[in-house]
Amino acid sequence: MKKSMKKILALAGAAVLAVGLLAGCGSSGGTSGGSGAATPSGDLSNLRFGCQMYSDGLIDPTLQTNTAWNCMRFGVGEALFKFNDNMETEPWLAESAETEDYITWTVKLREGIKFSNGDDVTASAVKAVFDRMVVEGQREDTSATPEKYVPYETVVTADDAANTVTFVLPQANPNFLGNLAYPVCVIVDVDSTTDWNNGVIGTGPYMVESFQDQVGYKMTANPNYYEEVPYKTVEIKFMGDASAKAMALQSGEVDLVENITNVSDIQTLQADDNFVVDIASGVRCGFAWMNFNGVLGNETLRQAIQMAVDHDTICASNTIGGLYTAGYSVLPSTLAYGYENLKNTYPYDPDAANKLLDDAGIKDNDGDGIRELNGQNINLKCVSYENRLLNDFSDAYAQYLGEIGIGVTADYGSSDDEWSKLVAGQYDLNNNNWTTVGNGDPTEYMANWYSKAEANYCGYKSDKYDALYEEFMNEFDADKRADLLQQMQQVLIDDAVCLVDGYYNSSMIYNKNSVGYAHIHTADYYWLSTEITPVK
């Protein structure tokens, strides 16, 4: 790239949503107090926030992905860049960035930013974060994989006088600012932090006062924050059950919750004038891996399974309705990656599924209601966990597949159980809900089906897909990348690689008698922000 074409990137666009967000879907009618008027605590300087415990509560961003997310979600840490609701990168702790070749990136830091302990956020302090990643990221007990975002070969230099940090990557990456926005790259005080479990020192509006395992956090306002902090204290209360969140909100135990996943609870709260339900059309895809190293290595069986499960009906059911948008590709239909041009190769057709299996000789030969393959009953081990309705989808699998003579045995545990069994290959179906453009770009996500990637946990191998993925990794033109993504999606659909549940709609719900405003963002990283304010 010529010098005259240098890009000054205060904003670096990434994946753009193709349709508008469903923001601000609040109360619509209903009678005040219709479900039992919630009583606020009366202390508007304290926010009580009910949320799912997605990890064991630790917030060291190098420990595992969920803890990095916690560090950002709980308002402790911030990154150099962040995503807006179109999944475009914007400056956060940085002021701007520039590059000439997508290899060397110089990031200009904002002036006057301090850590919560009062230490200055200098260029050297930022460099220390990425230096620590190289060491801690390679520990055997970490799963945050920071090298996916800032490769360990990257040369990072700091210029404190100029207040800049320069990254020289081992290869060009046009989406590097999106990588820097990912929670693993949260900026914390490496030199001063002594408790990496729950005492991480960040730049965010809140800091940890105390932590109680399985219960939650008590947070206090960061006295050195660069903006006014709305609350003096925040109580984060872990709540694993979706209805428990709704009941706690209705009773006045909490003021704010994230992602209630019981449809009837959502509908009740939407009809009650005491509450506001803010919903965003997100970029998460619910899908079940199919293990190619087991019985689902049989292509005919996978194709029949695709035709046997009616995802349109499931997503419209009383259990799921409104919280997922049905779809058949691994990338959500809201992203501008050609979904409208894709063909659903295996639409719902149980009669065709039965005929396909019968013609292939996959029949119920002993009359027990279950078909056999290679002399063995087909009984699929379906691993899942209770989050974002994944168990409900898995229950639906069992019902639909049972109708074509395929058995399903539920294996429902924790998210950690699900993850360990996925990595170990101990499943036939493994149900997940994943962010597709976590760094504003789907490259990492689409690597799940690239045969040479460590993240290929299903054993799928396609020369056609691999060639497209490798071309995609080396293509910087946005239109050509979108075309390659469309082709890759179609290959996965044609090969019946996984069961797609649909696309998850996130929510933030609050008592408007105590909270004046809250918003759920498309990127699922920003919960406790200064946007959340008490009622005036």
End-to-end CA distance of the chain: 52
The verdict on residue 36 lying in a domain is no
Tell me how far apart the alpha carbons of residues 366 and 345 are, in angstroms, rounded to a whole number: 32
Of 58-62, 190-194, 318-322, 453-457, least confident by mean pLDDT is 318-322
Task: Judge if 215 and 131 occupy the same domain.
Answer: yes
Over range 375-389, report the average pLDDT: 92
Helix (H, G, I), strand (E, B) or coil at 191: coil
Residue 365 in this model has a pLDDT that exceeds 60: yes
| Pick from 86, 64, 89: nearest CA to 9 | 89
Task: Judge if 471 and 349 occupy the same domain.
Answer: yes
Instruction: Give pLDDT, residue 39.
Output: 52
Tell me how far apart the alpha carbons of residues 32 and 36 are, in angstroms, rounded to a whole number: 9
Over range 283-292, report the average pLDDT: 95
Task: Judge if 386 and 499 occupy the same domain.
Answer: yes
Residue 17 in this model has a pLDDT that exceeds 50: no
Tell me how far apart the alpha carbons of residues 238 and 74 are, in angstroms, rounded to a whole number: 12
Q: Which two tokens stand for residue 74?
A: 């709980």
Task: Judge if 224 and 344 occupy the same domain.
Answer: no
Instruction: Give pLDDT, residue 6.
Output: 40
Local confidence band at 28 (pLDDT 50, 70, 90 cut-offs): very low
Task: Judge if 246 and 289 occupy the same domain.
Answer: no
Q: With residue 420 as reference, give the H or E element that holds it.
A: helix 415-424
Over range 279-297, report the average pLDDT: 92
Residue 15 in this model has a pLDDT that exceeds 60: no
Backbone angles phi, psi at 380, to 5 degrees: -80, 130
Over range 73-95, report the average pLDDT: 95
Domain that holds residue 94: 3-29+43-274+512-534
Contact assessment for residue 253 and residue 47, using Cβ atoms and an 8 Å cutoff:
no
Instruction: Give pLDDT, residue 56.
Output: 63
The verdict on residue 34 lying in a domain is no
Over range 53-80, report the average pLDDT: 85
Query: Per-residue pLDDT tens for 198-257?
Result: 899 999 999 999 999 889 999 999 999 999 999 999 999 998 776 899 999 999 999 999
The number of distinct structural domains making up the chain is: 2
C-alpha of 78 from chain center: 17
Task: Judge if 162 and 247 occupy the same domain.
Answer: yes
The verdict on residue 449 lying in a domain is yes
Residue 508 in this model has a pLDDT that exceeds 60: yes
Task: Judge if 195 and 143 occupy the same domain.
Answer: yes
Q: Which two tokens stand for residue 175?
A: 């989406």
Local confidence band at 320 (pLDDT 50, 70, 90 cut-offs): confident
Over range 495-517, report the average pLDDT: 94
Of 71-75, 141-145, 281-285, least confident by mean pLDDT is 141-145
Tell me how far apart the alpha carbons of residues 488 and 480 are, in angstroms, rounded to a whole number: 12
Local confidence band at 332 (pLDDT 50, 70, 90 cut-offs): very high
For all residues of the chain together, what is the average pLDDT? 89
The verdict on residue 251 lying in a domain is yes
Which residues fall within 8 angstroms of residue 286, CB to CB, at 6 or more apart?
Answer: 324, 388, 389, 390, 393, 431, 432, 433, 500, 501, 502, 503, 504
Over range 489-508, report the average pLDDT: 95
CATH label of the domain that carries residue 369: 3.10.105.10
Tell me how far apart the alpha carbons of residues 18 and 442 are, in angstroms, rounded to a whole number: 15
The verdict on residue 323 lying in a domain is yes
What is the percentage of the chain residues whose pLDDT exceeds 90?
A: 71
Instruction: Give pLDDT, residue 40.
Output: 59
Which residues fall within 8 angstroms of residue 490, CB to CB, at 6 or more apart?
Answer: 342, 343
The verdict on residue 37 lying in a domain is no
Instruction: Give pLDDT, residue 25.
Output: 40
Task: Judge if 297 and 253 occupy the same domain.
Answer: no
Task: Judge if 167 and 296 occupy the same domain.
Answer: no
Residue 20 in this model has a pLDDT that exceeds 50: no
CATH label of the domain that carries residue 215: 3.40.190.10
The verdict on residue 35 lying in a domain is no
Task: Judge if 301 and 174 occupy the same domain.
Answer: no
C-alpha of 484 from chain center: 23
Task: Judge if 297 and 148 occupy the same domain.
Answer: no
Contact assessment for residue 486 and residue 475, using Cβ atoms and an 8 Å cutoff:
no
Of 189-198, 240-249, 370-379, least confident by mean pLDDT is 240-249
The verdict on residue 223 lying in a domain is yes
Residue 7 in this model has a pLDDT that exceeds 50: no
Over range 432-456, report the average pLDDT: 93
Task: Judge if 215 and 307 occupy the same domain.
Answer: no
DSSP 281-298: EEEEEEEEEE-TTTGGG-
Local confidence band at 111 (pLDDT 50, 70, 90 cut-offs): very high
